[in-house]
Amino acid sequence: MSDPLIELLESLPRRQVLPIDPDRENRVLFDFSKNSHRMRRVDTSDVEDFGRYIRDSLQKADSRIGLGGYGENRGIYRHSGLFAGAKARSLHLGLDLWVAAGTPVFAAFAGRVHSLKNNEGVGDYGPTVILEHRIAELRFYTLYGHLGLSCLESLAPGEAVGTGERIGEVGSSRVNGSWPPHLHFQVIRDLQGRTGDFPGVCAPEEAATYLYLCPDPNLILKLRVLDASYDTNEDWMK
């Protein structure tokens, strides 16, 4: 059965949401899955320890960017009650791009600011921007999480943005929900009435629903390094 949104995103030229192209320079593909032996040695509840692991990994690869995570069943959310409950959430619905704090963030497509919010709390998004896009009579949204505080002042709901326009910058761990600096980039079909926020992680038993609601962001970025034919490059860090 055809999927108009998937077909649309596949047909469009690749977009960049950061000024760094992982297909053109060194990069690290991180594995934060529950089966990752390496992550068992990292205390992800300690942002300093987690951040040190990210920085050391990038430095060893002479890289400015790490990435991965869409559809990954992760073990890194146990430190925050935000993901607990009758259905513990661990399946990641966006793509994480691990870069330095202050790195500019760009709109993937032209559209308008749907909403923005500072989702405060350990493990949350921190400053978040959601853009609404209408292309070929289809409406969908892109979410940019873990930003710096400046976007909350520089943008306003309803404001028009252009393709590639700067909408903010990657936030520091002080403001981004206590994570090592990175951009959480997510595609959403239907916000279901939400503003300034949308689940970036779901329970594994809800995977079918949420992976449909939130298609693979690489349909937009079209990064070859994330193609299924590419293996994680963490072996060099052993």
Query: By the 8 A CB rule, do 198 and 226 touch?
Result: no
Q: Give residue 223's domain range.
A: 4-232
Query: By the 8 A CB rule, do 67 and 226 touch?
Result: yes
Asked if the structure places residue 237 within a domain, the reply is no
Q: Is 192 exposed, middle or buried (0-12, 13-18, 19+ CB in 10 A)?
A: exposed
Quote the pLDDT of residue 12. Answer: 98
Distant-in-sequence, close-in-space partners of 82: CB < 8 Å, separation ≥ 6: 121, 122, 123, 124
What residues are paired with 145 via a beta bridge?
184
Q: What is the pLDDT of residues 81-96, one digit of tens each?
A: 555 555 677 899 999 9
Asked if the structure places residue 238 within a domain, the reply is no
Quote the pLDDT of residue 68. Answer: 83
DSSP 40-80: GGS-TTSHHHHHHHHHHHHHHTT-S-EEE-TT-BBSS-TT-
Asked if the structure places residue 83 within a domain, the reply is yes
Quote the pLDDT of residue 231. Answer: 45
Regions in the chain scoring below 70 on pLDDT? 75-87, 228-238
Quote the pLDDT of residue 213. Answer: 98
Asked if the structure places residue 67 within a domain, the reply is yes
Quote the pLDDT of residue 50. Answer: 87
Asked if the structure places residue 97 within a domain, the reply is yes
Q: How far is CA 167 from CA 37, 129, 143, 150, 153, in A?
A: 37, 8, 11, 9, 11
Asked if the structure places residue 180 within a domain, the reply is yes
Strands 138-145 and 183-188: antiparallel
CA nearest to 110, candidates 146, 136, 147? 136
Count structural domains, the chain.
1
Asked if the structure places residue 198 within a domain, the reply is yes
**CATH code, domain with 227:** 2.70.70.10
Quote the pLDDT of residue 81. Answer: 53
30 alpha carbon, distance to own chain's centre: 13
Q: What is the pLDDT of residues 162-191, one digit of tens each?
A: 999 999 999 999 999 999 999 999 999 999
DSSP 168-233: EEBPPTTTTTS-SS-EEEEEES--TT--S---SEE-GGGHHHHHHHS--THHHH--GGGSTTPPP-
Enter the pTM of the model: 0.91
